Chain A
Amino acid sequence: DTGVSQDPRHKITKRGQNVTFRCDPISEHNRLYWYRQTLGQGPEFLTYFQNEAQLEKSRLLSDRFSAERPKGSFSTLEIQRTEQGDSAMYLCASSLEGGRAFFGQGTRLTVV
């Protein structure tokens, strides 16, 4: 499968724990995006990278959230001290600069 892949698909964690998600973009894509989607809503932009540089972060992204793309390939999204309000689908997408964005299957996070 040469599409965007995300791991894990599902994560259940206790409130206060840290979680980390991984995204592997389409190999030739230099842009990688993280979105969050809650039930009944459209994807909400969190942050994006061009190669290894993080170019923009949403105002919605609290300091408990951090994302990295150390070698310009895969990316990780970490949430520290999870809260129930963090429960959502976390979607990764990738594109070429100015190109179409393709989404991964997402990681569904449930904080209990």
Chain B
Amino acid sequence: GENVEQHPSTLSVQEGDSAVIKCTYSDSASNYFPWYKQELGKRPQLIIDIRSNVGEKKDQRIAVTLNKTAKHFSLHITETQPEDSAVYFCAAPLTGTASKLTFGTGTRLQVTL
């Protein structure tokens, strides 16, 4: 069925270390993979996205990689800072409907000093 699985559910890293969050999806027709960051009490904020015609995209300390064969994609945050602490959600359009995003269950990232 329509499914996006996200791991881990919680992640604690020390400031300056890297963080990696992984998602798998079920629909091989999915072609767009965004990542959202949500701070407590705030809206989900789009931080990076990737389309299926590329395998990797980078924006400063944030990168996303996509493996279409394995149907998984990952968020990489390098040189983590306390302000990176938030819940991160991956998403994918499932059932062939490009606009309807199905979200993962979220990863709570805690960056400690």
The residues of A with any CB-CB pair to B shorter than 8 Å are: 31, 33, 40-45, 48, 50, 55-56, 91, 95, 97-98, 100-106
Compute the total of residue contacts between A and B using a CB distance below 8 Å.
Answer: 51
Instruction: List the 4 closest A-B pairs by CB distance, nearest first.
Output: A42-B103, A103-B43, A42-B89, A105-B43
**8 further A-B pairs in the complex, CB-CB below 8 A; given A42-B89, A44-B103, A50-B99:** A40-B106, A42-B91, A45-B101, A56-B100, A91-B44, A101-B99, A102-B46, A105-B42
CB distance from B22 to the nearest CB of A (A): 15
Residues from chain A with a CB closer than 8 A to the CB of B44 are: 43, 91, 103
Residues from chain B with a CB closer than 8 A to the CB of A40 are: 106
27 A-B contacts (beta carbon < 8 Å): A33-B100, A33-B101, A40-B106, A41-B106, A42-B89, A42-B103, A42-B104, A42-B105, A42-B106, A43-B101, A43-B103, A45-B102, A48-B99, A48-B100, A50-B99, A56-B97, A56-B100, A91-B44, A95-B99, A97-B99, A98-B99, A100-B46, A100-B49, A103-B44, A103-B45, A104-B43, A105-B42
B98 at the interface (CB under 8 A from A): yes
Q: Which of A41, A105, A106 is the one whose CB lies under 8 Å from B105?
A: A41
Q: Which of B92-113 contact A (CB under 8 A)?
A: 97-106
